[in-house]
Amino acid sequence: MQTEAKKRWISLYVENDVGVLAKISGLFSGKSYNLQSLTVGETEDPTVSRMTISLTGDDKTFEQIKKQLNRSVEVIKVLDFTELPIHKKEILFIKLRSLKKDELEDVFRSASVFGINVSDYDKASVILESIKTESENDDVLRYYKKNFLSRMEAVRGGAVAIESVSRSDR
């Protein structure tokens, strides 16, 4: 019985070696999974990296992937965050160009309302930095696209996540 595809999060502890990222991402592409987000960073142990992966898929295929990951020599630990309380954030940068003075003032006000940082600006441009949940960043993007799309550049980083000790930040 095929189950419905749903959003999933997985975190892997892997050896911090050349080629590990390519091997892991190859596992997903081999199953025709499109990764929505993949971030990798060194942990407190420089020989170990932690990957946080977001994807959509059905239960059966997702279980097969977790089994393959667990069999991989480079993978130290697999954590399925799909049903766990976690803290998860992604970074979003938005650059707005060719702004008039009143538009620049609006951007500063709206950044304050959204609780995002102005990380750089000059007389006609601004760079905003938002470290929020995926859905909160969706809201931020929607607002600036509505008002500045033709003069906007956006860059999103993948989400990072950690198991919660008391609550979830989804």
- Taking only the tens place, the pLDDT of each residue in 29-43 is 777 777 888 999 999
Q: Is 113 exposed, middle or buried (0-12, 13-18, 19+ CB in 10 A)?
A: exposed
CATH of 6-84, one of 3.40.1650.10, 3.20.20.80, 3.40.50.300, 3.30.70.260: 3.30.70.260
Residue-wise pLDDT tens digits, 66-86: 898 999 999 999 999 988 888
Q: Is the pLDDT of residue 151 over 70?
A: yes
pLDDT for 2 equals 57
Instruction: Give CATH superfamily name and number for 87-163.
Output: ACT-like. Chain A, domain 2 (3.30.70.1150)
Rounded-to-integer distance, Cα 12 and Cα 97, Å: 38
Neighbours of 47 (CB within 10 A): 10
pTM score > 0.85 for this model?
no
Fold match, 6-84 / 87-163: yes
The domain ranges of the chain are: 6-84, 87-163
**142: enclosing H helix or E strand:** helix 134-148
Torsions phi, psi for 109 (to 5 deg): -65, -45
Work out the mean pLDDT of the chain and round it to a whole number: 91
Spatial separation of the C-alpha atoms in residues 155 and 161, rounded to whole Å: 19
